[in-house]
Amino acid sequence: MTVTAILSALAEEQHGLLAQLVNPEKVSCAGRNFWQGELNGHRVVLGLSRIGKVAAATTATALITSLGVNQIVFTGVAGGIGPGVRVGDVVVATEFVQHDLDASPLFPRYEVPLYGKTCFACDAALTAKLFAAAHTALAAIVDRAGEKRGPVTAQVRSGLIASGDRFVSSASESHNLDQALRGAGLQVLAVEMEGAAVAQVCFDFGVPFAAMRTISDRADDQAHVDFPKFIAEVASGYALAIVGNLFQSL
Ligand code: ADE
């Protein structure tokens, strides 16, 4: 039986999904509370990764080793880094890198020591379904917003996401991060604080992983204003619409 964990960093990103959970049952593990139940007839566990790579790795490990989870989907927000990645766009991850991992000169910058890998790939089949679900959901969201406010554009993209234990909140930091990654041949679309850790844990346990991030800010000098506003007003609706569509296709 497939048991899918749906992870977000913050409770605000998961309100809508929790409200839809059928037969909800609270369970605790590793000092965290999770909600088990069903969505669209599928067994799911809703959980919060908390913020940062270590907290996210602990959460993913607890889900897999103690709660019987054998598939993980992350839904959350991120700062847009790539050119043209705008607030309100959705990025579906194809793979993850840790932008703050640097064991050089022992290993090349960004390479995860002793894995011989710089990027951890998401599961191709699950990611394709998540991409399709995001497309359908975003089209509906854009239509509804357009009826209220006039034409609205938002795009679903897929590509590399970078994770690190920093909230990136200045244009210069964002630029430097992007340039350094490009120097290593890595073109990232967005930056956040958990995905690469969950991807690595899923790789270790052989568990399929997919992730989507709605762009809440541009990781620039406005990020500290844009991020909380987006989290409070928009993020949960995106998660509900996209994950709802995904479970119809699983
Ligand atoms: N998540 C959302 N916005 C972010 C940012 N600017 N930096 C890191 N993580 C984020």
Kindly name the residue from 89, 95, 178, 217 that is annotated as catalytic: 217
Tell me the CA–centroid distance for residue 215 and ligand 1, in Å: 9
Q: What is the percent of the chain with per-residue pLDDT over 70, rounded to a whole number?
A: 98
Ligand 1 contact via 110 beta carbon (within 6 Å): no
Length of the chain: 250
Residue nearest to atom 9 of ligand 1 (CA): 192
Report the pLDDT value the prediction gives residue 238, as an integer from 0 to 100.
87
HEC string of the chain equals CCEEEEEECCHHHCHHHHHHCEEEEEEEECCEEEEEEEECCEEEEEEECCCCHHHHHHHHHHHHHHCCCCEEEEEEEEEECCCCCCCCCEEEEEEEEECCCCCCCCCCCCCECCCCECCEECCHHHHHHHHHHHHHHHHHHHHHHHHHHCCCCCCEEEEEEEECCCCCCCHHHHHHHHHHHHHCCCCEEEEECCHHHHHHHHHHHCCCEEEEEEEEECCCCCHHHHHHHHHHHHHHHHHHHHHHHHHHHC
Ligand 1 contact via 92 beta carbon (within 6 Å): no
- Which of the four pLDDT bands, split at 50, 70 and 90, describes residue 219? very high
> Does 167 score more than 80 pLDDT?
yes
Assess contact for 2 and 43: CB atoms under 8 A: yes
> Does 150 score more than 80 pLDDT?
no
Q: Which atom of ligand 1 is nearest to the CA of 169?
A: 6
Residue nearest to atom 6 of ligand 1 (CA): 219
Q: Which atom of ligand 1 is nearest to the CA of 193?
A: 9
Assess contact for 66 and 58: CB atoms under 8 A: no
**Among the ranges given (14-23, 71-80, 93-102, 109-118), the one the predictor scored with the smallest mean pLDDT:** 14-23
Is-catalytic flag, 143?
no
Which residue from 77, 81, 98, 170 has its CB within 8 A of the most atoms of ligand 1, so it is best to mutate? 77
Mean pLDDT score of the chain: 94
Report the pLDDT value the prediction gives residue 141, as an integer from 0 to 100.
81
Assess contact for 133 and 243: CB atoms under 8 A: yes
**Which of 129, 99, 112 shows the shortest CA–CA distance to 189?**
99
- What number is the average pLDDT over the span 147-153? 68
Report the pLDDT value the prediction gives residue 235, as an integer from 0 to 100.
84
Which residue from 8, 77, 168 has its CB within 8 A of the most atoms of ligand 1, so it is best to mutate? 168
Distance, CA of 160 to CA of 191 (rounded, Å): 9
Tell me the CA–centroid distance for residue 224 and ligand 1, in Å: 9
Query: What is this structure's pTM?
Result: 0.95
Report the pLDDT value the prediction gives residue 188, as an integer from 0 to 100.
98
Ligand 1 contact via 167 beta carbon (within 6 Å): yes
Between residues 14 and 60, the one the model is more confident about: 60
| pLDDT per residue as tens digits for the range 226-248 | 888 888 888 888 889 999 999 99
Residue nearest to atom 4 of ligand 1 (CA): 79
| pLDDT per residue as tens digits for the range 67-104 | 999 999 999 999 999 889 999 999 999 999 999 999 99
- Which of the four pLDDT bands, split at 50, 70 and 90, describes residue 106? very high
Report the pLDDT value the prediction gives residue 151, as an integer from 0 to 100.
59
Between residues 231 and 175, the one the model is more confident about: 175
Q: What amino acid is encoded at 63 in this protein?
A: L
Tell me the CA–centroid distance for residue 238 and ligand 1, in Å: 17
Report the pLDDT value the prediction gives residue 99, as an integer from 0 to 100.
98
